[in-house]
Structure 1
């Protein structure tokens, strides 16, 4: 499969000036809307036609969709796989599979990648496309350390024609999400080496994206780009515990801020350790705080190198997965192959290597970012022995009612311990209800006092 490697001659050299890394020229930006979509993806299909040309995404909901119901019916439910990749034939598709997925195929004889027709179903509202075109010539990497922040951008993809790994990572962090979205009854499960399944805490969460709040247009971007509130519903011993996290748009000016509320103490406390490779206690320590949505947080401990763009088989349009009964999703060794939809898409590849003077549990991480949604779809994490350690997969689906993607059904395989987990799936009271809004509906929630008010029991 053809690999599109972007070398220095194609513009990977960053321009340093007074702590800022320059945006693209007006001439370069003319590619947007011509050979490239307005959000920076290749408009044309693949040479063999497996990836179609982009025509605007999916904007018509299926007939059984009920607005604001919290349920998102699968518009492709009648489709069948075109072919399957197994350990027996994976050699034919090796250049389209990440090392992590290849490792899963080799390790589990019944693991299977069912490949369906590719649908470039991600859509954007016009105001986001307009802002993206503006951002192309105004957005800059800012801060004292490369990758610490973004300036000169609002309400759109900041770097639709990226020149380095940091810009691609910020595109993923600032990919288009609705102003506010929430989920209730969000389940997660850990499956151990013996095949035993343990229910992890059931969560409610609300996420607010100031970067995509139209009322912030024209203001100085000193607000966090993302605010996340999470509350534990079960087990009863932990019910009411809440966390609020603010993710900074410029870590040189303001660090990530986290607060935790514990009902037994009736107190809200700062939680400065909720970042980097601190294990997430509510998930039994099977994932790190900076692995929320594959990656979330400051990039100062790694050097991020843009490898290029490839056509790869990745999870895509997974409307069914989060709605399926638990027994239809979780196998004794891995997520059941029948539950997952894979498609061929172009993805950006970024390799992150831990800096010589920094500490992290991973020595290297490779990130795969979808060109249409700018969403993380896969990651491979390597230990300090150089061996592949964890494999992360995001099972996102585009929102056909207004644009954007829902991208928090997330799983990690620990190849050393032999366990795996999947979050944001069906909980003990049924499937999660996923709702979005184009305005901030719960402003009082996103304060330390606000999380205390929701945590009483």
Structure 2
């Protein structure tokens, strides 16, 4: 009998809009918790056993963990790589490496992919798994444009048995995150073609996920699924600048809402350009607004096709990256191999092709989404000349208390300019401190008036 992996690889592709609106049947949903995990991944190990059977994820913190510290000790720090991939032996592993990673190996002689034992460490609380089962038979895509929104889902994976690329994308956008999490000392670096480093603005940010707030269980659809508040701490010339972004559950009914506060002007203004391929000015223009977390925002400018599911070598369980010094992370041309951790996991592959008449800097994007966490792990962006342009990686790690995944260690390479950047690292203010919470207590931040109050200098 074919496994789900074989079915997906054989052609589980995008359906037309008319067929994409229906939720799965009750019979299909019975796979959840049996052959599939309760959140829709394959429960069984891979054929060769490298990817283990899912057994509930990592739920016990390692020695040295303090819940209030914001620091996440590496539970796998004693492990050694089981394989190291370089340009010299890349051909042996090519079927499990993305075109983007292969391009990095070819271009940078010092680039190396150290493959560690695979750990299916993502965990979920029971209420999220219960909601996922409900969502399986009630969630549907809605909107005037295919992929514009989701109805009939709350507090869980909306489409645990996805039928098209838009459903996989919404699973990633609505992947399980704690109700609220805050990060202080969120640093980043841009490294130019000569190896020169520029520290990107250091941020404090708070993310609130109304979709995963149990208090919203009985609320009407249409609220933002995600609200992000971010404020620059350094450099002093930019300190106090604040952004607030609301991401919509249905862009046909309620567009993304964005505000900006500038201390020099002492006023809040709408920021309608904080989306699509508008460069993020505070990051020196090296990242588009829709590349936060590898992808954020409305999907109306691309056609999203589900290619299937593959076993790939991807960044995973990288707890140590945020704890390292810049000298231990930043190489002249690329992130140092010793700062990265790669594992083999099953990922969903979605290809996004720019629609005729639509405008975007990318002509095509290919996204790789983890089957366990439903999080974006890699993306390859292609220019209008058909050539691979930018390669994006997310060095994720799961929270071992309460579940969820940290996804803000983002790393992009520009193959045209030859530079790269990485966020979520140690900067002049120290190590990033990440504090998830199951309670929303920062409501004063998420209004234009609250932005002005916190941004005063």
Q: TM-score range by the shorter chain?
A: over 0.9
Output one character per residue of 1:2-39: Cα deviation in whole Å (capped at 9) or x when no partner: 9745379868535628xx71100000000000000000
Output one character per residue of 1:176-201: Cα deviation in whole Å (capped at 9) or x when no partner: 00000010011110000000011110
Distance 2:454 2:7 in 1: 49
Give the match for residue 416 of structure 2: 416
Q: Per the alignment, in what secondary structure is the counterpart of residue 69 of structure 2?
A: coil
Output one character per residue of 1:285-322: Cα deviation in whole Å (capped at 9) or x when no partner: 00100000000000000000000000000000000001
Output one character per residue of 1:154-190: Cα deviation in whole Å (capped at 9) or x when no partner: 0000000000000000000000000000100111100
Give the match for residue 6 of structure 1: 8
Structure 1 contact 186–432 (Cα < 8 Å) conserved: yes
Distance 1:15 1:416 in 2: 36
Q: How does 1:35-184 map to 2 (within 5 A)?
A: 35-184=35-184
Give the match for residue 18 of structure 2: 16
Structure 1 contact 4–310 (Cα < 8 Å) conserved: no
Task: Work out whether 1:384 is the aligned partner of 2:353.
Answer: no
Q: Per the alignment, in what secondary structure is the counterpart of residue 293 of structure 1?
A: helix
Distance 2:15 2:384 in 1: 29
Distance 1:423 1:100 in 2: 19
Give unmatched runs, 5+ long, in structure 1.
none
Query: How many residues get paired?
Result: 454
Distance 2:195 2:132 in 1: 46
TM-score, normalisation: structure 2: 0.98
Give unmatched runs, 5+ long, in structure 2.
none
Q: CA, structure 1 residues 237+15, in 2 after alignment: closer, same or farther (shift >3 Å)?
A: closer
Deviation of the 1:219 alpha carbon: 1.3
Distance 2:402 2:149 in 1: 28
Output one character per residue of 1:43-84: Cα deviation in whole Å (capped at 9) or x when no partner: 001000000000000000002111121000000000000010
Deviation of the 1:95 alpha carbon: 0.4
Task: Work out whether 1:335 is the aligned partner of 2:335.
Answer: yes
Distance 1:435 1:9 in 2: 41
Q: CA, structure 1 residues 11+238, in 2 after alignment: closer, same or farther (shift >3 Å)?
A: closer
Q: CA, structure 1 residues 382+15, in 2 after alignment: closer, same or farther (shift >3 Å)?
A: closer
Give the match for residue 375 of structure 2: 375
Distance 1:4 1:307 in 2: 12
Output one character per residue of 1:344-387: Cα deviation in whole Å (capped at 9) or x when no partner: 00000000000002000000000000000000000000000000
Higher deviation after alignment, 333-342 or 62-71: 62-71
Let me know the Cα RMSD of the aligned residues. Answer: 1.3
Structure 1 contact 3–311 (Cα < 8 Å) conserved: no
Output one character per residue of 1:84-104: Cα deviation in whole Å (capped at 9) or x when no partner: 000000000000000000000
Give the match for residue 297 of structure 2: 297
Structure 2 contact 12–307 (Cα < 8 Å) conserved: no
Q: CA, structure 1 residues 383+11, in 2 after alignment: closer, same or farther (shift >3 Å)?
A: closer
Give the match for residue 207 of structure 1: 207
TM-score, normalisation: structure 1: 0.98
Structure 2 contact 9–310 (Cα < 8 Å) conserved: no
Structure 1 contact 6–12 (Cα < 8 Å) conserved: no
Distance 1:440 1:98 in 2: 38
